[in-house]
Copies of this chain bind each other. A is one copy, B any other.
Amino acid sequence: MPDNGLTPELMKEMYYMMALSRHMDDRLWALNRQGRAPTVYSSNGHEAAQVGSAFALRRGEDWIVPYYRDMALVLAWGMTPREVMLHFFAKAEDPNSGGRQMMAHWGSHRLHILSTGAVVATQDVHAAGLALASKVLKDGRVSVAYFGEGSTSQGEFHEALNFAAVHKLPVVFFNENNGYAISVPQRKQMVVQDISARADAYGMPGVSVDGNDPIKVYEVTRAAAERARRGEGPTLIEAKTYRFVPHSSDDDDRAYRSREEVQEHKKYDPLLMFESRLLADKILTEEEKADMAKKIKAVIDDATSYADKAPLPDADTLGLYVYGDDSK
């Protein structure tokens, strides 16, 4: 195996982030089912793709433009569990939106996570724009847009890739292909099997990778980021993965996919597979694993109770920050 820069420590950190996200996600569903928050969007199943790619970038310095599926990504990028929970509970302190946006609409200037709305594929264009500035200002940053395969049907996906290719921008388009857009399976969304096949239309490299393997994802993302930093332009990456839970807590996925199908995919659970591998390779010990589990539980408990107690935004703040001069 060529040196990919991944030390055992980094791999353990990756594993930790994946496990943290999975457990956070489980907690969010539990809280939702208890009626304590109205909506969950999950990264459950996508952890390897998200965490693997995050580790390949300069976290906090490069720009990411995530979508609602990307909790594992923003955790790996530096958002704390408390911050995620504050967002989930829509509290005033939520750094993503101050409780203004529904869960999973990420954003943090400090962390270089561009604020996101809900309209899919807009983030692709924004990432190209961030990269346009990097090219002009020569700041050495790479920008990465994250998006589902369904969103590639949008015109803005096409416009973003084309613009970025023409201007050789330092940007990576990172697709998390889970085979469904809510209930719509990929074959009703497009004829091609691989999202990466769309890269040729823009004269940029397209690469498909096993999105359940964080190391492979790390490697392709790293290569794409390096290429971007060298001034050679954008790359389209497709990480093939699966979503283990419904689209959101408002969805019921039994209407559109069989339990057998879901079970089949669970055989390739990215978290469990990575765990086995790290254990087998003796990168992770059973003891470390147990410690991490304990730590994760503590961190999530802390985040939950902190966020639970935090105040809601004041109704009087409704009119603030429509314009920059409002704050003066």
- Cα separation A204 to B154 with both chains bound (whole Å): 18
- A289 interfacial by beta-carbon distance below 8 Å: no
Q: Are A155 and B166 in contact (CB under 8 A)?
A: no
Specify which of A162, A190, A202 lies most central, judged by the most chain B CB atoms within 10 Å of its CB: A162
Point out the residues of chain B lying under 8 angstroms from A198, CB to CB.
Answer: 201
Chain A interface residue count, Cβ-Cβ cutoff 8 angstroms? 24
Total copies of the chain: 2
Q: Are B191 and A165 in contact (CB under 8 A)?
A: yes
- Cα separation A11 to B109 with both chains bound (whole Å): 65
- Cα separation A192 to B204 with both chains bound (whole Å): 9
The 0/1 profile, CB within 8 Å of B marked 1, for residues 133-175 of chain A is 0000000000000000000011111110011011000000000
Contacts A197-B201, A200-B200, A200-B201 known; A166 to B154 CB distance under 8 Å?
Answer: no
- A183 interfacial by beta-carbon distance below 8 Å: no
Point out the residues of chain B lying under 8 angstroms from A157, CB to CB.
Answer: 155, 158
Contacts A155-B156, A158-B157, A159-B155 known; A189 to B166 CB distance under 8 Å?
Answer: yes
- Cα separation A254 to B253 with both chains bound (whole Å): 60
The distance from the CB of A187 to the nearest CB of chain B, in whole angstroms, is 8
**A-B contacts, 13 listed (Cβ < 8 Å):** A153-B163, A155-B156, A165-B190, A165-B191, A166-B187, A166-B190, A166-B191, A190-B203, A191-B204, A192-B200, A192-B201, A197-B200, A198-B201
| A residues with CB within 8 A of B | 153-159, 162-163, 165-166, 187-192, 197-198, 200-204
- Cα separation A197 to B159 with both chains bound (whole Å): 16
Which residue on chain B has the smallest CB distance to residue A188?
A: B166
- Cα separation A238 to B53 with both chains bound (whole Å): 38
Point out the residues of chain B lying under 8 angstroms from A204, CB to CB.
Answer: 191
- Cα separation A188 to B166 with both chains bound (whole Å): 6
The distance from the CB of A312 to the nearest CB of chain B, in whole angstroms, is 39
The distance from the CB of A100 to the nearest CB of chain B, in whole angstroms, is 28
Known A155-B158, A191-B204, A200-B200; 17 more pairs at CB < 8 Å: A153-B159, A153-B162, A154-B155, A154-B159, A155-B157, A157-B158, A158-B159, A162-B190, A165-B190, A165-B191, A166-B188, A190-B202, A191-B202, A191-B203, A197-B200, A197-B201, A198-B201
The distance from the CB of A206 to the nearest CB of chain B, in whole angstroms, is 10
Which residue on chain B has the smallest CB distance to residue A160?
A: B155
Closest 6 CB pairs of A and B: A155-B155, A191-B203, A158-B158, A201-B201, A198-B201, A165-B191
The distance from the CB of A31 to the nearest CB of chain B, in whole angstroms, is 38
